[in-house]
Amino acid sequence: MVTFLPSKPAPRSFELMASGAHGETLVPVALYAALVCDEEVLPAFVTSISEHGMVFDSLAIFSNRSCERLQIELTLPGEPELLWIGAEVVRDTQGSIFNDSAIRFLAMANAHWRAIRRWVRVRELVLATRPIGLHDAA
């Protein structure tokens, strides 16, 4: 079974997304993901994730893609299963070598959505209970 996440207006900038435009917290993380756009697979380094999207750095070639919707393939730290997520790009800031981009999740298997939700909520609790300065990326 596939979950289609409720449609929300896309944030106009990363600042809106980071400040909780959807009432959520972006959790810091350090992991790699594969972005699949048409037939092309591009690497990305995920820096923040929430229940509804993520922020990542990608090679500048990401700006040359032909689609706004893409598939993401990633494994959360400590989770055994590879996740496949349908998403759309909501922010893409071009840099000389890397792009700073944000995406919103659109669809994924129910089990994958529950895994992300559980993983993010555990990290939120850890961030809320640990003293400032002692936070590690996942």
What's the CATH code of the domain at 54? 2.40.10.220
Look at residues 14, 3, 82 and name the one whose alpha carbon lies nearest to residue 53: 14
* Residue 97 placed within a domain: yes
Q: What is the pLDDT of residue 8?
A: 46
Burial class (CB in 10 A: 0-12, 13-18, 19+), 109: middle
Residue 87: predicted pLDDT: 93
Q: What is the pLDDT of residues 15-27, one digit of tens each?
A: 333 434 456 778 8
Cβ contacts of 93 within 8 Å, gap of 6 or more: 14, 99, 100, 101
Q: Which domain covers residue 80, as residue numbers? A: 8-129
Q: Say how many domains are in the chain.
A: 1
- Residue 57 DSSP symbol: E
Segments in the chain below pLDDT 70: 1-23, 59-66, 95-98, 131-138
What pLDDT, on a 0 to 100 scale, did the predictor assign at position 52? Answer: 93
Helix (H) or strand (E) holding 14: helix 14-18
The answer to whether residue 136 is domain-embedded is no
110-132 confidence digits (pLDDT tens): 999 999 999 999 988 888 887 55
Identify which of 103, 117, 89, 90 has the alpha carbon closest to the alpha carbon of residue 3: 117
